[in-house]
Amino acid sequence: MAARFLVRLAGIAVVCIPGLARAYPGGTPDYQTDAAPYCAACHSSVTTSELEGAPGDRATKELVANKHIAQILAGAPNTGYAELSETERQALADQIRAIDAASKVRIQVPAQVSPGQVFEVEVTFTGGDGPVAGLALVDAAHRWYARPASSAGWQIVDVPIVRSGVMGSPDDPTKPADPLQLTWLDKRPAALGRNLSYVNVGGIKSSVDRQSYATGSVLWKVKAPAQPGTYPLAAAYFYGTELATPLGYKVDPKDPLKRAAPRGGFTGASGRVVFTALQQITVAQ
Ligand code: HEC
């Protein structure tokens, strides 16, 4: 199923906005490298704290309610939302709220490690519409200022271990690494190192109608800085919403493959970037 979505999106991307749409939505199918959250400019936020310090009302404008749901409710001109009736737009807004409520991310880290110690950081997530979810280790819970975790001195020492499946299904929670995920990491030449702080996690599929939500985790092996001190670490979670809802996607009737595209379009605000709480880890002997 997830594979079908991937194929659909990849196909659409070729037809629309070349270059741009090849990468978004669908995360970063072609780019196997560390990502920083500033890249997700089209995405919406669930809190203003993640844009603290942004000028004027910019942080408020980025909120889901203002950037995404308001467009739906208003049936904004030149968007797929304008084709829906008012009742349908209300229903879509409710469906989007449901996928957002089901989409969460959590980070588990030790409170203290020794200088140079290799330890595990586990990030678990739920929800997201699929076909992929994006997870990154960063040094701040901020859309504009966060850097890949390595900039703060954390070294990713191994290929991240990824699991994904559907909550409550037989493949939850210990399904082995998803084949799509392996394909994504495998696209990066081994000689460059696949110890990335960002991963596009495949095998993601959620349905608001069926109340069936994806879940997964990424396990990173991280080496602490050599210098004692207190170092910040957080996870960023990039996910989409519209493909998980019955009203949130469109299928081009002329498309023989009947591929789905988000109703808000490739430059719409149906993506999200959210963060875990910022962790302060003590590095001491
Ligand atoms: C041109 C606008 C745009 C930019 C820039 C953008 N995205 Fe997105 N992204 C979207 C949209 C729209 C969706 C949600 C589609 C949906 O609702 O299904 C999305 C969804 C996603 C998803 C979830 C997969 C999916 O298809 O739902 C991931 C992961 C993601 N983006 C990662 C990123 C990353 C990483 C960057 C920066 C490198 C980025 N995005 C930049 C528009 C964008």
pLDDT of residue 21: 43
| CA angle, 194 then 198 then 202, to 5° | 90
Ligand 1, closest atom to CA 266?
Answer: 12
- Which among 143, 130, 147 has a CA at the least distance from the CA of 67? 143
pLDDT of residue 164: 80
Q: Specify the residue with its C-alpha closest to ligand 1, atom 30.
A: 27
pLDDT of residue 137: 98
- Which among 37, 112, 119 has a CA at the least distance from the CA of 279? 112
- The whole-angstrom separation of Cα 146 and Cα 266 is 24
Neighbours of 283 (CB within 10 A): 20
pLDDT of residue 203: 85
Q: Specify the residue with its C-alpha closest to ligand 1, atom 26.
A: 26
- The whole-angstrom separation of Cα 23 and Cα 115 is 38
Ligand 1, closest atom to CA 41?
Answer: 5
Q: Specify the residue with its C-alpha closest to ligand 1, atom 27.
A: 240
- Which among 150, 208, 178 has a CA at the least distance from the CA of 33? 150
pLDDT of residue 101: 98
Residue to substitute in 8, 20, 24, 34 for testing ligand 1 pocket (most ligand atoms within 8 angstroms of CB): 24
pLDDT of residue 97: 98
Burial (CB count <10 Å: 0-12, 13-18, 19+), residue 280: exposed
Alpha-carbon dihedral sign for residues 90, 94, 99, 104: positive
- Which among 163, 234, 151 has a CA at the least distance from the CA of 202? 163
pLDDT of residue 181: 61
Residue to substitute in 6, 33, 43 for testing ligand 1 pocket (most ligand atoms within 8 angstroms of CB): 43
Q: Specify the residue with its C-alpha closest to ligand 1, atom 18.
A: 240
Q: Specify the residue with its C-alpha closest to ligand 1, atom 32.
A: 27
Ligand 1, closest atom to CA 129?
Answer: 27
pLDDT of residue 258: 75
Per-residue pLDDT of the chain (285 residues; tens, 9 = 90+): 344 444 344 433 333 333 344 445 678 888 999 999 999 999 999 999 999 999 999 999 999 999 999 999 999 998 999 999 999 999 999 999 999 999 999 999 999 999 999 999 999 999 999 989 999 999 999 999 999 999 999 999 999 998 887 766 655 544 555 555 667 888 999 999 999 999 999 889 999 999 999 999 999 999 999 999 999 999 999 999 999 999 999 987 887 777 788 999 989 999 999 999 999 999 999
Provide residues with CB under 6 Å of ligand 1: 20, 24-28, 35, 39-43, 129, 132-134, 238-243, 262, 266-268, 270-271
- Which among 237, 61, 216, 58 has a CA at the least distance from the CA of 146? 237
